[in-house]
Amino acid sequence: MTTSKSLINRITSDKPLTIGIVAGEASGDVLAAGFVAVLKEMYPNASFQGIGGKHLTALGLNSLFDMEELSVMGLVEVLKHLPRLLHIRKTVVQHFLNNPPDIFIGVDAPDFNLAVETKLKKASIKTVHYVSPTIWAWRESRIHKIAKATNLVLGIFPFEASIYKKYKVPYQYVGHTMADSIPLVPDQSVKRTLFALECTDKVLALLPGSRAREVDTLLPDFIKAAELLALSLPTLKVLIPAANDAREIQIKLLLKELKPGVHVRVTQMSARDVMIAADAVLLASGTATLEAMLCKKPMVVGYKMSKMTHLIMRRLYKPDFFSLPNILANEELVPELLQEDVVPQNMADKLRPMLQSQPRELISRFTQLHKMLQLNADEQAAKAIQALLVRISSDE
């Protein structure tokens, strides 16, 4: 490990290294905790201030506000909480202007963090943004706002790099923590014991999304697809992971109405465990498609949105695909169904061969993509932050 003499002197002096961090939601709290743990090994005397959840506070972060106050989703909800969010942002900015950290790291939550980073960078505080906004998918012009806000962007997907290179914005690809935490060859038999499943059982995982609207929109058709599959696979078993208590209640009420003609079990055990235990997955578009790929599961991805949203996204969305496995591969590895194509017969027809035999070539491609993402992201992110700290110190 290499550090400059002046940085070492800072760390061992009466004024230890200070790092500002804001994580705006649970996923960001987990992500930040990974690299903070590495930074604490590099700099045992460093202190951390900002906003975080249980994982960051367990590592010693002094959280200025409850992270839950930033975890607001939906236009109406954001507008309702806007005065409070603006107050928090103003207070965080003022805190760091009054107590300048050696570096500030905004973790995801771009609507909040980029505004904070812009003001801090203008005050000559070095800033890092971890997890690139989806400029690769739409609104590429946001790159100019990102450039004004950050000294370095840490990205989790390799295809992002070309956009940052195009605009000459400092960027480093660090890999994806999910790829580090999931084995290249997951043990299906171990996970099946969690659900009392036999090795010979045919198992379909249904993941209709973590939001209420997604579940209401997708689950009925997902269940009908499973019923069609059960006609040729009469012993088929269906597992549905519920993201939380509210989703479990919602799913069970829907199932009571639907009266499915197939064996269905709802669980709050992790979606990852469910997917590894399954033979195939039917799921909503989102990060779960990446997790399914890393679990080496053949899948069918479906999504429905409002007609207005679909019309807008058709104009703005740039990639040829919308599921992460296909975007990463830049080819159609897994079937994608959107809007009117999300019908039970379509989904059942595409899932049936996946349940009957494992597609070896597909799993091989998933493994290649897994290795591309598996870079020990926590360590890579910490080293990139350290390198920026060293440059700061050498400039002093």
Whole-angstrom CA distances from 132 to 147, 154, 316, 323, 389 are: 12, 7, 18, 17, 20
Q: Is residue 181 part of a domain?
A: no
Q: Answer yes or no: do 133 and 25 share one domain.
A: yes
pLDDT over 60 (residue 388): yes
Q: Is 4 helix (H, G, I), strand (E, B) or coil?
A: coil
Q: Is residue 239 part of a domain?
A: yes
Q: Is residue 230 part of a domain?
A: yes
Percent of the chain residues past pLDDT 90, beyond the cut: 72
pLDDT over 50 (residue 223): yes
Containing H/E element for 331? none
Q: Answer yes or no: do 389 and 341 share one domain.
A: no
List, in order, residues 6 or more apart from 42 with CB less than 8 Å away.
1, 382, 386
Sheet holding 263-267, edge to edge: 263-267, 237-241, 203-207, 280-284, 299-303, 336-338
Spell out the alpha helix ranges (H) of the chain: 5-12, 26-42, 54-58, 75-98, 110-122, 143-149, 161-166, 177-181, 188-194, 212-232, 245-258, 271-277, 287-294, 307-316, 324-329, 344-356, 360-373, 377-395
Q: Answer yes or no: do 161 and 70 share one domain.
A: yes
Identity of the amino acid at 334: V
pLDDT score recorded for residue 81: 72
Q: How far apart are CA 110 and CA 82, in angstroms?
A: 15
Is residue 275 classed exposed, middle or buried when 0-12, 13-18 and 19+ CB atoms within 10 A define those classes? buried
Q: Answer yes or no: do 255 and 360 share one domain.
A: yes
Q: Answer yes or no: do 200 and 171 share one domain.
A: no
Q: Is 125 helix (H, G, I), strand (E, B) or coil?
A: coil
Q: How far apart are CA 332 and CA 330, in angstroms?
A: 7
Q: How far apart are CA 194 and CA 52, in angstroms?
A: 32
Q: Answer yes or no: do 124 and 14 share one domain.
A: yes
| Higher pLDDT, residue 316 or 241 | 241
Range 11-16 average pLDDT: 54
Of 38-47, 74-83, 249-258, 326-335, which gets the smallest average pLDDT? 74-83
pLDDT over 70 (residue 299): yes
Of 133-137, 157-161, 180-184, 242-246, which gets the smallest average pLDDT? 133-137
Q: Answer yes or no: do 128 and 194 share one domain.
A: no
Q: How many domains is the chain partitioned into structurally?
A: 2
pLDDT score recorded for residue 283: 95
Q: How confident is the model at residue 339 (pLDDT cuts 50, 70, 90)?
A: confident
pLDDT score recorded for residue 97: 97
Q: Answer yes or no: do 124 and 242 share one domain.
A: no
List, in order, residues 6 or more apart from 131 with CB less than 8 Å away.
28, 31, 107, 108, 154, 155, 156
pLDDT score recorded for residue 2: 42
Identity of the amino acid at 275: M
pLDDT score recorded for residue 11: 45
| Higher pLDDT, residue 33 or 315 | 33
Range 39-63 average pLDDT: 95
Q: Is residue 165 part of a domain?
A: yes
Residue 25 φ/ψ, nearest 5 degrees: -155, 175
pLDDT over 70 (residue 23): yes
Percent of the chain residues past pLDDT 70, beyond the cut: 89
pLDDT over 60 (residue 344): yes
pLDDT over 90 (residue 91): yes
Q: How confident is the model at residue 134 (pLDDT cuts 50, 70, 90)?
A: confident
pLDDT score recorded for residue 141: 86
CATH number for the domain that contains residue 113:
3.40.50.2000
Q: What pairs with residue 206 in β-bridges?
A: 282
Residue 236 CA to chain centroid, in angstroms?
30
pLDDT score recorded for residue 12: 41
Compute the mean pLDDT over every residue in the chain, rounded to the nearest whole number. Answer: 89
In 3D space, the residue among 395, 392, 394 whose CA is nearest the CA of residue 125 turns out to be 392
Range 272-282 average pLDDT: 97
Q: Answer yes or no: do 211 and 154 share one domain.
A: no
pLDDT over 80 (residue 157): yes
Q: Which structure tokens are listed for 97? A: 């202007």
pLDDT score recorded for residue 74: 42
Q: Is residue 292 part of a domain?
A: yes
pLDDT score recorded for residue 41: 96
Is residue 248 classed exposed, middle or buried when 0-12, 13-18 and 19+ CB atoms within 10 A define those classes? middle
**CB < 8 Å & 24+ apart, contacts of 30-34:** 30/55, 30/177, 31/107, 31/108, 31/130, 31/131, 31/177, 32/56, 32/105, 32/107, 32/130, 33/58, 33/59, 34/177, 34/377, 34/378, 34/381
Q: Answer yes or no: do 276 and 291 share one domain.
A: yes
Range of the domain at 150: 5-175+375-395
Q: How far apart are CA 178 and CA 175, in angstroms?
A: 9
Q: Answer yes or no: do 12 and 131 share one domain.
A: yes
Whose tokens are 């490990």? That residue is: 1
pLDDT over 70 (residue 284): yes
Q: Is the dihedral of CA 173, 324, 267, 254 positive or negative?
A: positive
Q: Which structure tokens are listed for 258? A: 């639907």
pLDDT score recorded for residue 213: 85
Whole-model pTM: value is 0.84
Q: Is residue 180 part of a domain?
A: no
Q: How confident is the model at residue 386 (pLDDT cuts 50, 70, 90)?
A: very high
Whole-angstrom CA distances from 74 to 18, 82, 309, 319 are: 34, 12, 13, 24
Q: Is residue 182 part of a domain?
A: no
pLDDT over 60 (residue 143): yes
In tens, the pLDDT along 165-191 reads 999 999 999 999 999 999 999 999 999
Range 269-280 average pLDDT: 96
Q: Answer yes or no: do 366 and 379 share one domain.
A: no
pLDDT score recorded for residue 321: 72
Q: Are 255 and 221 in contact (CB under 8 A)?
A: no
pLDDT over 70 (residue 105): yes
Identity of the amino acid at 82: L
In tens, the pLDDT along 71-83 reads 654 444 556 778 8
Q: How far apart are CA 324 and CA 288, in angstroms?
A: 9
Q: Is residue 183 part of a domain?
A: no
Range 130-151 average pLDDT: 89
